Amino acid sequence: MRHVITALVMNEPGVLAHVANMFSARGFNIDSLVVGRTEDPQLSRMTIVVVADDRTLDQVRKQLAKIVTVVKVRDYRDTPFVSRDLMLVKLSASPRTRSEIIELASLFRGHVLDVGHNSLTVELSGEEDKLDAFIDLVRPYGIRELARTGMIAMARGGHAMSLVGEDGDGTSASAPSGTVPPLAQAGGRPVRAAAGRMPTQEELEATPPG
Amino acid sequence: MSTFTSPAGAAKGIGSARNKNQEKSGKRAPESRADGQSGDSTVDSGTGLPVLGWPTGRTDRYIGKAGAEIMLQMLVEHGVTDAFGYPGGAILPTFDQLYKKQINFILVRHEQGAGHMADGYARATGKPGIVIVTSGPGATNTVTPLATAYMDSIPMIVFSGQVRTYMIGNDAFQEADVTGITRPVTKRNYLVKNVHDLPRIINEAFIIATTGRPGPVLIDLPVDVTTSRVEQAIDDTPYLPGYKLYRTGHSRMIKQAMEVINRAERPVLYVGGGAILSDAWKEVRDLAATANIPCTTTLLGVGAFDEHDPRSLHMLGMHGSAYANYAVQESDCLIAVGARFDDRVTGNLKLFAPKAKIIHVDIDPSSISKNVKVDVPVVGDAKLCLAEMIELAEAKPRQAWFEQIASWKRQFPFSYRNDSELPKPQAIIETINQVTEGKAYFTTGVGQHQMWVAQFIRWRFPRSMITSGGLGTMGYGLPAAIGAQVGRPNDLVIDIDGDASYIMTAMELATIRQFNLPVKVAILNNRFQGMVRQWQQLFYGGRFSNSEMVNPDFAAMAESFGIRGMRCGRKEDVRKTVEAMIQHPGPCVVDFLCETAENVYPMVPSGKGLHEMELGLLASAPPNSGRELGSLA
């Protein structure tokens, strides 16, 4: 099954190589891996789509969290999330077919970025399925070039992934929502639970409800 | 004659060395973690992240100093007293600082040796091993030791030289992409591009190498970083936002684990190297005693539980004891402590411990449910978690279970027949065990001899077994013994090696000679790569492809290095040779010519379950040896 994982990582050389290398060394399959800057110049955000069963997904998440330069990890197995993929596609377009393609693109809420004598470049963003559907429709016109960014994703609701407020290895049970609870801000530092620390994902999963 | 430091005195290294050093530098000394739970002073109570125990922050104390000078100063501040390595062009600025002899530096003959020495040093003392090598080949030669240390979670820091920052990427002389090459075999590695980052990085390196699940760290130092000077106040505070440290276990999990344990009728403790790394042998002993549970250890865990204790099941796994393997397969509750369910321990995973609820105490969350689905995970430091678990333990008689185990022990002790013309390797190891009473640091290479050492030494003291478990690095024994001897100068250190393993790194005899280290080497010379020969005999139709060795006269070879060399090929001479070796005040190499056609048993063939092990001669006839060790119970 395809799973989406996001990771906040330290913005420094070698981190991408480390993550990519960990995936190949442990035999995990990456569908796509996107990395880019965040609101914090010291952090980058990776969105990784992996094909894995639940147990492998656990290992992927834990192995990612183990890398010292990876700051936070979460997966979206049980969380509603929004996702987007961006595509640029250059199509063969004669004067006769040009308007048909433009019509299709606008049906898909795409934009025409460039028009040539025999070509048309369309920008399209959305969920991966939508992009796949568009590619299917325009294939008969002739795809000259195609580039996709790969998926980026974010949880629905106020839940945010940042340096404070969430446990490190992607366990989300401790912080109820995106804003840090007032208690946790005492002295400007997150305060640990009375039990010594927050439970890890595996501890939570192994605990019967109640 | 050497003595042996009691286990309680051993392995407080990290805390005690640092304390000692801070008294010197007048800094606030942290409490040693060995003092118990108050050891949390190594952790920031707010963030849960490790702290160094002395103030860090923006400081002008580095101003005017060059990188190499800062490096040496900080090594001393971090309690480093010994280091291993080899010079070369790109690391010469650092070696110029070593000329001041602030730390004891061991010049090796090959950088691989330096790495294994630092590793053996770390395993014997608990302090991180320090390696200083040059760029390019110097650094790439440390890859095998890094991988060895990474697999076995050993704290180690390698400083490698690098070409000048502006030449990086130009294929300069002795340039290699060392951070790229070592990334998969280090817990963290750094390429320092500016001397202003160096103090922070060194502080981070010590924290990463020695805390949590320990591991090796590499710091790549371009020449212009070690030579240029700090010109302004800099911040040396470690910045580790992604570093998560688990210390105490979660109370709910501990409660749940103890409910399962207290209910169990046939529990087994399965203790790995993590218990030794976290100095948890006292807690292991107390849990086994308080809750009345039999205890088996992995290859890296031997010594964490006194094998003279009647609850000891000795080592488990592919070449473990039959009674440990049967006990695991029959148990209804398996309590893993600092162990990772390696394939050499579990055999066929589908057949492993089929009746058991599995409790896993480990500091590394990624170890949990990696190979075996765990029922009750307890993530945290073994020492702290076990201490809490003991509080909830109930003593249960479990008479039927202990009777069953005693019967397996009587039926299937480790055994061999001493019936060949040449001495059997097991007999030599038994003799070493008798003469030393197990009071020594033992190192090994990898193969048959390593398994026999694990089987026939009666392990009583934590850290006394120093062996490459996960990676299985042949050639580890001699340099590791040198490292252990440097860290434990007053103790007896014996490398029990195979002939093929030994000769892989035998050039380090010159290091032994140069630094007058009283290391003893017992080579079990069967003129074969014994384990390869065993597999070829059992699984490849007796086609001994490239496993036979033509060896030099190891005694004469040692003598040529200026080291006492002896040779022994007669059974009746074994005991007096072992005694002569141990009584010799300096280094000594003994070439024991021993029987070739001897296999290690029990053996779980790969793909089979632990209970499907082949017992060797135990299966056919009653054993006629092993009795020198009593019933092993």
pLDDT digits (tens, 9 = 90+) for B305-356: 999 999 999 999 999 999 999 999 999 999 999 999 999 999 999 999 999 9
Q: Does residue B290 carry a pLDDT above 60?
A: yes
Let me know whether B265 and B166 are in one domain.
Answer: no
Per-residue pLDDT for A186 more than 80?
no
Share of chain A above pLDDT 70, in %: 78
For residue B552, give the 3-state DSSP assignment: coil
| B165, B368, B375, B378: best to mutate for the A interface, most A CBs within 10 A | B368
Q: What is the 3-state secondary structure (H, E, C) of chain A?
A: CEEEEEEEEECCCCHHHHHHHHHHHCCCEEEEEEEEECCCCCEEEEEEEEECCHHHHHHHHHHHHHCCCEEEEEECCCCCEEEEEEEEEEEECCHHHHHHHHHHHHHCCCEEEEECCCEEEEEEEECHHHHHHHHHHHHHHCEEEEEECCCEEEECCCCCCCCCCCCCCCCCCCCCCCCCCHHHHHHHCCCCCCCCCCCCHHHHHHCCCC
Residues B208-220: what's their mean pLDDT? 97
| In the predicted structure, residue B17 carries a pLDDT above the cut 70 | no
Among B560, B534, B541, B553, residue whose Cα is nearest residue B614: B534
Please report how many Cα atoms fall inside a 13 Å half-sphere around the Cα of residue B45, on the Cβ side.
Answer: 8
Flag whether residue B375 sits within 8 Å of chain A, measured between CB atoms.
yes
Same domain, B280 and B394: yes
Domain presence at residue B586: yes
Give the number of other Cβ atoms within 10 Å of residue A144's Cβ: 15
User: Which band of pLDDT confidence, cut at 50, 70 and 90, is reported for residue B244?
Assistant: confident
DSSP conformational letter for B398: -
Task: Give residue limits of the domains in chain A.
Answer: 2-80+156-205, 83-148
Is the Cβ pair A63, B366 closer than 8 Å? yes
Which of A26, A68, A72 to mutate: most B Cβ within 10 Å? A68
CA separation for the pair B194, B114 (Å, rounded):
27
Cis peptide leading into residue B623 (ω within 30°): no
At residue A164, the pLDDT reads: 62
Interchain CB contact of B515 with A (< 8 Å): no
**CA separation for the pair B55, B245 (Å, rounded):** 20
Q: Are B377 and B257 within one domain?
A: yes
Predicted pLDDT at A101:
96
The answer as to whether B417 is a domain residue is no
Domain CATH number, residue B377:
3.40.50.1220
- B124 or A184: whose pLDDT is higher? B124
CA dihedral B111, B113, B118, B121 (to 10 degrees): -160
A 10 A CB-CB count for B200 gives 18
CA distances from B1 to B424, B432, B457, B580 (A): 27, 15, 20, 11
Contact A197 B248 (CB under 8 A): yes
Q: Has residue B2 been placed in a domain?
A: no
Q: Do domains A2-80+156-205 and A83-148 have the same CATH topology?
A: yes
Is residue B537 predicted with pLDDT exceeding 70? yes
Same domain for B181 and B58 = yes
Cα–Cα distances in angstroms (integers) from residue B400 to residues B265, B270, B323, B405, B576, in the given order: 9, 20, 15, 9, 44
pLDDT at A178 exceeding the cut of 70: no
Distance (Å, whole) CA A117 – CA B520 = 84
Between residues B574 and B43, the one the model is more confident about:
B574
Whether B430 maps to a domain, the answer reads yes
Residue B613 in any domain: the answer is no
Give me the torsion for CA of B407, B409, B412, B414, rounded to 10°. -170
The reported pLDDT for the residue numbered B82 is 98
Q: What is the pLDDT of residues B92-103, one digit of tens each?
A: 999 999 999 999
Q: Is A96 on the interface with B (CB under 8 A)?
A: no
A169 — pLDDT class (breaks 50, 70, 90): very low
ipTM metric: 0.84
> Are residues B258 and B396 part of one domain?
yes
Kind plus residue range of the DSSP H or E element containing B523 = strand B520-525
Neighbours of A82 (CB within 10 A): 11
Indicate if B591 and B536 belong to the same structural domain: yes
Distance CA A75, CA A56 (A): 12
pLDDT band at A206 (very low <50, low <70, confident <90, very high): low
Tell me the percentage of chain B whose pLDDT exceeds 70: 90
- Residue B548 pLDDT > 90: yes
One domain, residues B387 and B360: yes
B320 shares a domain with B183: no
Given a cut of 70, whether residue A87 has pLDDT beyond it is: yes
How many distinct structural domains can be found in chain B? 3
- Do the beta carbons of residue A6 and residue A46 sit within 8 Å? yes
CA distance B433 to B357: 36
pLDDT for B24 equals 38
**Does A194 touch chain B if contact means CB atoms closer than 8 Å?**
no
Shortest CA distance from B370: residue in chain A = A59
How far off is chain B from A187, nearest CA to CA, in Å? 9
* Residues in chain B within 8 Å Cβ distance of A195: 250-252
Say what the pLDDT of residue A158 is.
85
In this structure, what CATH number is given to the domain that contains residue B81?
3.40.50.970
- Indicate yes or no: CB of B366 within 8 angstroms of CB of A17: no
**Least confidently predicted of A86-100, B38-52, B603-617:** B38-52
CA B247 vs CA B213, B367, B406, B596: distances in Å:
11, 15, 36, 48
Of the candidates A57, A9, A81, which has an alpha carbon nearest to the alpha carbon of residue A202? A57
Statement: A2-80+156-205 belongs to CATH 3.30.70.260: yes
What is the least distance, in Å, from the CA of A197 to any CA of chain B? 7
Residues B395 and B508 in one domain: no
B359 and B433 housed in the same domain: no
The Cα of A87 is separated from the nearest Cα of chain B by a number of Å equal to: 32
Q: For residue B3, what pLDDT band results from cuts at 50, 70 and 90?
A: very low
Q: Taking 60 as the threshold, does the pLDDT of residue B127 lie above it?
A: yes
Q: DSSP string spanning B585-610?
A: SS-EEEEEE--SS---SSB--TTS-G
Rounded to whole angstroms, the Cα distance separating B63 from A137 reads 66
| B416 found inside a domain | no
Task: Using the CB atoms, write b or e for B477-493: b if 16+ within 10 Å.
Answer: bbbbbbbbbbbbeebbb
Residue B140 pLDDT greater than 50, yes or no? yes
State the Cα–Cα distance between residues B341 and B348, nearest whole angstrom.
11
Look at residue A162 in the predicted model and tell me its pLDDT: 78
Q: Are B144 and B112 in contact (CB under 8 A)?
A: yes
pTM beyond 0.80: the answer is yes
Per-residue pLDDT for B293 more than 80? yes
In a domain, B632, yes or no: no
- Range B185-206 average pLDDT: 97
Structural domain range at position B105: 13-235
DSSP secondary structure of B254-318 = HHHHHHHHHH-SSEEEEE-HHHHHTT-HHHHHHHHHHHT--EEE-TTTTTSS-TTSTTEEEE-ST
- Are B99 and B173 members of one domain? yes
- B164/B285 same-domain check: no
Domain A83-148 part of CATH 3.30.70.1150:
yes
